[in-house]
Amino acid sequence: MNNFEFQNPTKIIFGKGTIAKLKDNLFKGEKIMMTYGGGSIKKNGVYDQVKKALEGFDVIEFGGIEPNPDFDTLMKAVKICREQGVGFLLAVGGGSVIDGTKFIAAAVEYKGDEWEILTKKTTAEECLPLASVLTMPATGSEMNSNAVISRRATKEKFDFGSPKVYPVFSILDPEVVYSIPKHQKANGLADSFIHVIEQYLTDDINTPVQDRWAEGVMKTIIETAPKVLVDKPDYDACANYMWAATCALNFFISPGVNQDWSTHMIGHELTALCGLDHGVTLAIVLPGTMRVMRKEKKAKILMYAKNVFGITQGSDEEIIDKAIEATEKFFQSLGIKTRLSDYNAGQEVIDEIYNRFEKRGTVLGEHGIVTHEKVRQILQDRL
């Protein structure tokens, strides 16, 4: 096991009817900016529940944060925060809204060009405190310190992280899952599954607690997926999906292990260049990452095959092939197509991603083993 430091201060308030608890966890006397997305919360009842809980608080609203939240949109919110002296941010939405709100928190007091927060991975010395009401289990943003921000003007997508942007609290009411469209649930299931993969499918450095926990989250996602994807999922299925998605990226499974994240970095480029949904990009890329990096990840792929899918028959190479196949079939079972050609993306996209990584000098994968040449091979595998 590697040496590590771990601290996750976010308070989770989980369960039926918990949105009403907002009022017990916020302080009166400071101006709150409530952020949200395209307005789905106005249709599914979440907006009304939040507004009711916020009666008597000083609240302004900032709606319209788009999927893959855009730098220019968020800078409008930053300007309002500065002008109106906002002291607390309340994100009501999924990963995009929460990520965008983390950026706002990091930018309001930032001296300099706010784009540096993404390119230099820095923040203001004092970030605004933020909290969230989660409406879409997927990214884990409700209980971590990371965010991914896009800039449509330049077709770029970057992440940043800081202990200063952990939500103070997050409210997770699984009943919000009832009204999520099927393709969004599918994306969320794929996204959270691959969050676990990025922290697990690396090299085996003898970390059994972390490995069993990662496998436990993945098995839960696989078993829960068909129950969540039906039109009227039951409460337990929604609750288990929601908690699994949070545990997939709250860093509980990753202390002391090596991490990969190359599938995410490649996926971000596919979103930036082709506008594909985040979860879809990951489902496209991962089978390629596994196939191209099969030697380096051999021990862990074998562990994964056995402990997640129960695959034990055959030679090591056959088991690895079966594990890759089972992984891709799982994504397809969610209704996600897993080839670049399914989305009319081809060689020119691969070349552009290769060139971008070359130009930026991006280092990918555990120990930097996913070279730019490997990225090209991974994407060629996914044509």
Residues of this chain that interact with a copy of itself (CB under 8 A) are 1-18, 169, 206-209, 211-213, 215-217, 219-220, 223-224, 236, 239-240, 243-244, 247, 252, 255-256
**Identity of the residue, 221 or 340, whose beta carbon is nearer to a copy of itself in the bound complex:** 221
**Identity of the residue, 182 or 235, whose beta carbon is nearer to a copy of itself in the bound complex:** 235
* H or E stretch at 170: strand 169-172
State the nearest-atom distance from the C-beta of 5 to a copy of itself, in Å: 5
Distance of CA 312 to the CA centre of its chain: 31
Among candidate residues 97, 59, 62, the one with its CA nearest the CA of residue 78: 62
Strand order of the β-sheet with 88-93 is 59-62, 32-35, 88-93, 130-134, 169-172
**Identity of the residue, 14 or 343, whose beta carbon is nearer to a copy of itself in the bound complex:** 14
Three-state secondary structure call for residue 137: coil
Contacts 24+ apart (CB under 8 A), 79-83: 80/33, 81/33, 81/108, 81/128, 82/108
- The structure tokens listed for 314 are 């055959």
Burial of 204 (0-12, 13-18, 19+ CB in 10 A): middle
Characterise 29 by phi-psi region: left (phi > 0), alpha (psi -120 to 50), beta (else).
left
State the nearest-atom distance from the C-beta of 284 to a copy of itself, in Å: 27
**Identity of the residue, 206 or 315, whose beta carbon is nearer to a copy of itself in the bound complex:** 206
Partners of residue 170 on adjacent β-strands: 12, 132
State the nearest-atom distance from the C-beta of 302 to a copy of itself, in Å: 17
CB 73 within 8 A of CB 67: no
**Identity of the residue, 218 or 280, whose beta carbon is nearer to a copy of itself in the bound complex:** 218
**Identity of the residue, 14 or 354, whose beta carbon is nearer to a copy of itself in the bound complex:** 14
State the nearest-atom distance from the C-beta of 98 to a copy of itself, in Å: 18
Distance of CA 58 to the CA centre of its chain: 30
**Identity of the residue, 7 or 313, whose beta carbon is nearer to a copy of itself in the bound complex:** 7
State the nearest-atom distance from the C-beta of 316 to a copy of itself, in Å: 22
State the nearest-atom distance from the C-beta of 256 to a copy of itself, in Å: 7
R_g of the chain computed on alpha carbons:
20
State the nearest-atom distance from the C-beta of 3 to a copy of itself, in Å: 3
